[in-house]
Amino acid sequence: MTVLAFGVQTDEKPLLESAFGPDRIRCLDVFLNEDTYPIAAGHEIITSSVNDQLDGTVLRGLAEGGTRMVAQRATGFNNIDLGTAKELGLTIARVGYYSPHSVAEFAWTLAMAVNRRVVRAARRTREFDFRLDGLMGRDMHGATAGVVGTGKIGEAFTRIAHGFGMRLLGWDVRQNPACTELGMEYVGLGELLASADLVSLHVPLLPATHHLLGPGELAAMKDDAILVNSSRGGLIDTEALVVELRKGRFSGVGLDVYELEAGLFFTDRSLEPVEDDTLARLVTFGNVIVTSHQAYFTREAVGQIIETTRRNVEDYRAGRTGENTLTAPAAAS
């Protein structure tokens, strides 16, 4: 039985083939969506990436083609219509855990890159311009870090902030004892945004967190704050963010995710006209860095993701469900 993998990155393919065996998995670089789901016909098991689109139409098409199991190679699953999957009797599994350090460290990479104007400095020195004009940053030591979401990744981010000697503010539906032991004070979101010099987002994208930072929340932040999002693009109202940036607000913004990234990130559009006016405007700001959802992309994290995906597939074949199972036929749940 061959597993069909959608949205496979070049560096990911050999790891998938090693984990499953080259004769047991077929890797595609195309994303799963309404145009590509017919490719899966005849494959009982497929594995999807975070930017594949598994809405009701796609899931019904997969089921009609014989697919019974979807193994998502990601922790998030907001791209999957679980209601329709359950209705169709599909087994959906995800990766419940992988190295939180990969994302937390990259969030800090973005924070320090915008703080110390690293991209601008590197561009200048390539042209032998060694001036320091416009490159002044700030010390993180003694500044206030606001961590929105203090689960495993938020905790890892907090530990790094603690190492910098920062004051720690947190917001979450429940407190993390490991963070409070580091000296974190839990406050309301409004107080956190108004007080923090650095705000980093580490919450999942749910209906309750969609546009968690909208016009009012962004306006409440300090004019010289640094904002980092390495979680999900939909947490920020991007058009509202552009409005604030046009006012000259924020010392720096580092985004590894974008709310309309599906079908765009992980692809080469360098020779095509820019159709997304909001994203085109966003990347023109000198104090903004946008990367293409790569925070998780370390050897350790991707290796854990693939190994968990392999186990999820083996569980399905054995008729088992586990903590990573999101939906399953009633007889197997």
For residue 228, the surrounding DSSP H or E stretch is strand 226-229
How far is 187 from 176, CA to CA, in rounded Å?
Answer: 13
Token look-up 């919450």 returns: 203
DSSP E strands, 91-189 = 91-93, 144-148, 167-171, 185-186
How far is 329 from 85, CA to CA, in rounded Å?
Answer: 10
For residue 119, the surrounding DSSP H or E stretch is helix 118-126
Of the residues 12, 17, 217, 261, which is catalytic? 261
Tell me, yes or no, if 232 is annotated catalytic. yes
Contacting residues for 331 by C-beta, under 8 A, at least 6 apart: none
Tell me, yes or no, if 293 is annotated catalytic. yes
DSSP-assigned letters across all residues of 2-54? PEEE-S--TTTHHHHHHHH-TTTEEE-SSPPSTTTGGGGTT-SEEEE-TT--B
Of the residues 26, 94, 293, 310, which is catalytic? 293
- Tokens read off for 194: 């108004």
Please tell me the number of Cα atoms within 13 Å of 41 on its side-chain side. 7
Tell me, yes or no, if 141 is annotated catalytic. no
Cα torsion through 25, 30, 36, 37, rounded to 10: 30
Of the residues 232, 244, 259, 310, which is catalytic? 232
Of the candidates 140, 118, 121, which has an alpha carbon nearest to the alpha carbon of residue 131? 121
* Three-state DSSP class for residue 56: helix
Q: What does the DSSP 8-state code read for residue 80?
A: B
Total number of residues shown for the chain: 333
120, with CB counted inside 10 A (0-12, 13-18, 19+), is middle
Q: What does the DSSP 8-state code read for residue 236?
A: B
Residues with catalytic roles: 232, 261, 293
